[in-house]
Amino acid sequence: MRDLSKAMAHLQRHESSWQQRPLLSFGEFLQEVVQNPERVIRDVYQVYTDMVQAHICEGVDEYNGDPESINYLSYDCNRLFAEGSDRPFFADRLFANRFMRHVESLAVGAQQNKIYIFDGPHGSGKSTFLNNLLQKFEAYANTLEGARYEVIWRLPQPDIALGTLPLPTSFVEKVMQLLQDEERSVLKGGMNPGIVEPDQERWLNIPCPSHDNPILMIPKDVRPQFFDELFGNDAFKWRLHAEKQFEWLFRDEPCTICTSLYEALLRQYKDPEKVMECVFARPYIFNRRQGEGVSVFNPGDKPARDNVIRNDYIQPCLDALFTGSRPVHYVYSRYAKTNNGIHALMDIKSHNTGRLMELHNIISDGVHKVGDIEERVNSLLFALMNPEDKKVLTDLQALSDRIEYINIPYVLDLKTEVDIYRAVFGRHIEESFLPRVLHNFARVIIATRLTPHSEAMREWIKEPEHYQLYCDKDLLLLKMEIFTGYIPPWLDGKDVERFTAKRRRKIILDSEKDGWDGLSGRDSIKMFNEFYTLYGREDKLIDMTMLGVFFRKYCKEDPDFLPKGFLDSLLRMYNYTVLQEVKESLYYYNKEQITRDISNYIFAVNFEPGSSAVCTYTGDRLEVGEAFYQQVESRLLVSESEAADFRNSIQKSYTTVALPQEIIRDNRAIDETSLFQQLHDRYIHTLKTKVLEPFIDNENFRRAVKDFDLEDFKTYDRKIQNDVTFMIDNLQRKYGYSRQGAKGICSYVIDNNLTRVFNQD
Ligand SMILES: [Zn+2]
């Protein structure tokens, strides 16, 4: 027999989870309040914002210290919207910023009693977004970190419930039924069936259907003094009075049921303290499927015939307990179940149109009638909407002060668009593309979603023609870079200067008009699938030519598919970028790298060729030899015949002046010695004059690139071999090319004569 005790131990652990805690008396509850005020005293807005902040770390500003920054930050929303979900939602940077502003406004308690409508076109992933958000909310609210308490009244069991009073048979049957099913634990036994108190049968537990926080049972007029006493002089007391997020504590009333229970008990006991002895606290447990705390309505869900919920067990008990005094009506609506929680409508159409109107009326008036009694609803209200449904709801215009729209259009940030392809098709897709080509696929998709005319962009860039080598005439490519939070290096200094906070804000605000048309999320995945099936092969990487051929076919079918000339501009921008990469890879402008090269060289000339040494100045391991020397010497314009003398003179200068005098005696760093300075100046001079020379003038170099990795490559002179190898290595290391891709891109630069097209510095 297998020992199952270990497996069963897991059950024990589950049993002891937060949700299973026994009821707390009001006194015990207050102890919790004092110990964890920030956790226990939260309304739904606070729990919601805490939940988001627990999942999304602080945003990142790539240009830290930029005085014109508008806090358009990069947020990692994966933990909130993607992780652990069957269908991940990908928030692009624009939406993430919009969403975080919405959350921040709730966090400070600025906007309440509003309906937040997420408005976006078909296929923008709205329902995935909302489902994932609610799933995370439900899970969080049921953890210790997100937990709150709700009130449960414990009253003496009236005789009626013990069966001593004659009851109509049907009623007795109903009670029996109730006692058997799951409600039994809720109504009769507290939360933990494992801890049955011996006198449990004497008590009748009445939960508040509105999930009121037990703290609200303190009568409103004495709350300020009560909290002053409760918190003594600790810091929290001051926050409580000062911060808007705690206003509800002084403002909110308990629900009508709790209020009338309190009053009825006070009439009976004539002692508020005794009344409070009936107040207990239990965890507020969220359950979307049962509509407790979180409830989601689909357009097709039929409205309940009767929205008045009664309880056939509790009501007779209450009537028996309070005979002769004013009756307590245990009556509530469906809305009570999501009080202090989230009420959401998927798509405003069909039955949800009516629900939206009803919700709107409820929050405008603050209360609504359920049977004879008034019910207050304080829920976080969400809805989803398609643009065309907005037109149908003409009445909505009149209601708009209670409604806040948060746009959720198609993805406009190319990094996010690429993340979607990776998530859907697997990370390996990248290996089939030359670097940047996959992102260019995303650029084309996003271009179909952008409005070609942006006032804000035109106001910023006075002469778009000036950038025709890198950007399209409508500046869509530039706009996309801005959306990803990137300021491209090809922008002129004066335009970078004009890129003020005010203009940035205008451009981001203008983006609200983008992403409503063009290829939907679903369309783009379909199109990527078609493209990848067609061109993704093992022997050849996907390049810009294939991309052009593929999309030109669509442009032919539909002339409005893309703005005219967009694909040409995209290719030019690509060419420019590729040329920069090749340039950077052939020579280092990088100050740090130059310093490294020269320091290593000075150190290495002290060693015999063939030896291996660790450079004292850089920590690099050097394989000293001809190849190593030549790499630096070619940049210092030292010919092969001069090389031996040159090395000797460097070594002499190092051992007689630089090392003993400047470094040891004067305590200078290697790059502060005159020897270093001299080599450095010579190095830079060569760099500036020679950058792309081999590509333009040297037929041997061009041929060597094409013969790279082939047998013939060994027939070229040493310098050419070194340079080509160096360039290819750098393209791989710095720009993520494969060896084959790096060779391909160099041939591409040669074949397309890019060095002449972009004849600039
Ligand atoms: Zn209540």
Q: Measured in angstroms, how far is the CA atom of residue 506 from the centroid of ligand 1?
A: 47
- Give yes or no for residue 754 having a pLDDT over 80: yes
Q: How far is the CA of 257 from the centre of ligand 1 (A)?
A: 6
Distance of CA 356 from the midpoint of ligand 1 (Å): 24
* Cα–Cα distance, 755 to 413 (Å, whole number): 31
Do 656 and 575 lie in one domain? The reply is: no
* Cα 573 to Cα 757: distance, rounded to the nearest angstrom: 12
Do 607 and 600 form a contact (C-beta atoms < 8 A)?
no
Distance 606 CA to ligand 1 centre (A): 86
pLDDT at position 161, please? 55
Q: Residue range 532-558: average pLDDT?
A: 94
Residue range 611-638, pLDDT digits in tens: 999 999 999 999 998 888 988 888 788 8
Residue 292: CB atoms within 10 Å: 17
Considering the domain architecture, whether residues 539 and 463 belong to the same structural domain is answered as: yes
| Residue 274, helix vs strand vs coil | helix
Sole residue written with tokens 């906007």: 111
Distance (angstroms) between ligand 1 centre and the Cα of 326 equals 18
Ligand 1 centroid from CA 88, angstroms: 37
Q: 336 CA to middle of ligand 1, Å?
A: 9
- How far away, in angstroms, is 156 Cα from ligand 1 center? 18
Q: Does residue 505 form part of some domain?
A: yes
Tens digit of each residue's pLDDT (9 = 90 or more) over 398-432: 667 788 999 999 999 999 999 999 999 999 999 99
Q: How far apart are CA 678 and CA 674, in angstroms?
A: 6
Residue 578 is assigned to a structural domain of this protein: yes
pLDDT at position 686 over 80: no
* pLDDT (tens digit per residue) in 261-319: 999 999 999 999 999 999 999 999 999 999 999 999 999 999 888 889 999 999 999 99
pTM, whole model, 2 decimals?
0.81
Same domain, 527 and 607: no
Comparing 642 with 685, the larger pLDDT belongs to: 642
C-alpha span between 597 and 632 (Å, rounded): 7
Please give the pLDDT value at position 435: 92
Q: Please state the rounded mean pLDDT for residues 356-367.
A: 86
Q: What is the average pLDDT across 573-583?
A: 90
DSSP 3-state of 403: strand
CA of 389 to the centre of ligand 1 (A): 36
Q: How far is the CA of 315 from the centre of ligand 1 (A)?
A: 15
For residue 578, the SS3 value is: helix
- Cβ-count burial of 618 within 10 angstroms (0-12 exposed, 13-18 middle, 19+ buried)? middle
d(CA 687, CA 683): 6
Ligand 1 centroid – CA 258 distance (Å) = 4
How many angstroms does the Cα of residue 254 sit away from the middle of ligand 1?
Answer: 5
Provide the 3-class DSSP secondary structure of residue 136: helix
Q: How far is CA 173 from CA 240, 313, 510, 516, 667, in A?
A: 50, 11, 65, 58, 97
How many angstroms separate the alpha carbon of residue 203 from the centre of ligand 1? 19
Same domain as 598, residue 647: yes
Least confident residue range of 491-500, 527-536, 680-689: 680-689
3-state secondary structure of 719: helix
Within a domain: 652: yes
Measured in Å, residue 33 CA sits from the centre of ligand 1 at: 19
Name, in order, each residue with C-beta under 8 angstroms of 470's C-beta and a sequence gap of 6 or more.
477, 488, 490, 572, 573, 576
| Cα 375 to middle of ligand 1, angstroms | 10
**Ligand 1 centroid distance, CA of 377 (Å):** 11
Q: Is residue 141 part of a domain?
A: no
* Beta-sheet pairing, 373-376 with 367-370: antiparallel
Residues 574 and 432 in one domain: yes
Q: Read off the pLDDT of residues 59-92 as tens digits, 9 standing for 90 and up.
A: 999 998 889 999 999 999 999 999 999 999 999 9
C-alpha 202 to ligand 1 mean position (Å): 22
Residue 258 scores a pLDDT above 80? yes
Regarding whether 575 and 450 lie in a shared domain, the answer is: yes
Asked whether residue 473 carries a pLDDT value surpassing 90, the answer given is yes
Whether 532 and 619 share a structural domain: no
- What is the DSSP track for 275-318? HHTTEEEEE---BTTTTBSEEEE-TTSPPPS--EEE-TTHHHHH
Chain position carrying tokens 């051929």: 549
Other C-beta atoms within 10 Å of 23: how many? 21
Q: How many angstroms is it from 529 CA to the middle of ligand 1?
A: 54
Pairwise pLDDT comparison (194 vs 441), residue with the higher score: 441
Residue among 405, 397, 513 nearest 101 (CA): 405
- Judge whether 524 lies within some domain: yes
Residue 2's pLDDT band (cuts 50, 70, 90): confident
Residue 700's Cα: distance from chain center in Å? Answer: 51
- pLDDT (tens digit per residue) in 368-381: 989 888 898 899 99
Number of domains comprising the chain: 2
What is the 262 CA–ligand 1 centroid distance (Å)? 10
* CA separation, residue 264 to residues 252, 320, 701 (Å): 20, 12, 97
Tally of CA atoms within 13 A in the half-sphere of 83 that contains its CB? 9
**Residue pair 580/691 in contact by the 8 Å Cβ criterion:** no
Q: How far does residue 256's CA lie from ligand 1's centre (Å)?
A: 7
Q: Is 472 helix (H, G, I), strand (E, B) or coil?
A: coil
In a domain, 375, yes or no: no
Ligand 1 centroid to Cα of residue 292, in Å, is 14
**How many whole angstroms from 39 Cα to the centroid of ligand 1?**
20
Q: Are residues 425 and 573 in the same domain?
A: yes
Could you say which of 518, 550, 583 is where a domain stops? 583
Long-range contacts of 570-576 (CB under 8 A, 24+ apart): 570/440, 570/443, 570/444, 570/472, 570/477, 571/544, 572/468, 572/469, 572/470, 573/470, 573/471, 573/477, 574/436, 574/437, 574/440, 574/544, 575/752, 575/754, 575/757, 575/758, 576/469, 576/470, 576/490, 576/758
Give the side-chain half-sphere CA count within 13 A for 32.
23
What pLDDT digit, counting tens, does each position of 95-141 carry?
999 999 999 988 887 667 889 999 999 999 999 999 999 999 999 99
Q: Is the pLDDT of residue 181 over 60?
A: no
* Distance between Cα 261 and ligand 1 center (Å): 9
Residue at a domain's end among 689, 712, 741: 689
Output the CA 213–ligand 1 centroid distance in Å. Answer: 8
Using CA atoms of 228, 229, 235, 238 in order, give the dihedral in degrees to the nearest 10. Answer: 0
> Where in the sequence is the domain holding 493, given as residue range(s)?
414-583
Interval between CA 211 and ligand 1 midpoint (Å): 6
- Percentage of residues in the chain having pLDDT higher than 70: 90
Are both 441 and 526 inside the same structural domain?
yes
Same domain, 528 and 605: no
Residue 314 lies in a domain: no
pLDDT of residue 689 exceeding 50: yes
DSSP 497-565: HH--HHHHHHHHHHGGGSSSSS--HHHHHHHHHHHHHHH--SSS-B-HHHHHHHHHHHHHH-TTSS-TT
Q: How confident is the model at residue 171 (pLDDT cuts 50, 70, 90)?
A: very low
Compute, in angstroms, the gap from residue 347 CA to the centroid of ligand 1.
Answer: 31
DSSP structural state of residue 191: S
Q: How far is the CA of 383 from the centre of ligand 1 (A)?
A: 26
pLDDT at position 592 is: 83
> pLDDT tier at 9 (50, 70, 90 boundaries)?
confident
Specify whether 517 is located in the same domain as 429.
yes
- Backbone CA torsion sign across 514, 520, 525, 526: negative
- What tens digit of pLDDT does each residue of 591-618 get? 788 899 999 999 999 999 899 999 999 9
Q: Given this model, what pLDDT does residue 631 score?
A: 85
* pLDDT the model gives residue 19: 62
How does residue 704 score in pLDDT terms, banded at 50, 70 and 90? very high
Ligand 1 geometric centre to CA of 278 (Å): 13
Q: Is residue 519 part of a domain?
A: yes
* Least confident range of 130-144, 427-441, 472-486, 575-589: 575-589
- Residues linked to residue 24 through DSSP beta bridges, in sequence order: 281
* Mean per-residue pLDDT over the chain, rounded: 88
For residue 253, the CA-to-ligand 1 centroid distance in Å is 9
For β-strands 373-376 and 331-333, DSSP reports them as: unpaired
How far away, in angstroms, is 400 Cα from ligand 1 center?
A: 30
- Of the three residues 644, 673, 689, the one that is the final residue of a domain is 689
Q: What is the CA radius of gyration of the chain?
A: 36
The whole-number pLDDT of residue 31 equals 95
Please state which of the ranges 144-158, 194-208, 251-265, 475-489 shows the lowest mean pLDDT.
194-208
At 394 the pLDDT is 67
Same-domain pairing of 572 and 623: no
Whole-number Å distance, alpha carbon 208 to ligand 1 midpoint, is 4
Give yes or no for a contact between 504 and 485, defined as CB atoms under 8 angstroms apart.
no
> How many Å lie between the centroid of ligand 1 and the Cα of residue 255?
4
Q: Which of 179-193, 409-423, 708-722 shows the highest mean pLDDT?
A: 409-423
Angstrom distances, CA of residue 657 to CA of 408, 524, 613, 665: 67, 66, 22, 10
Task: Report residue 290 as tokens.
Answer: 């049962």
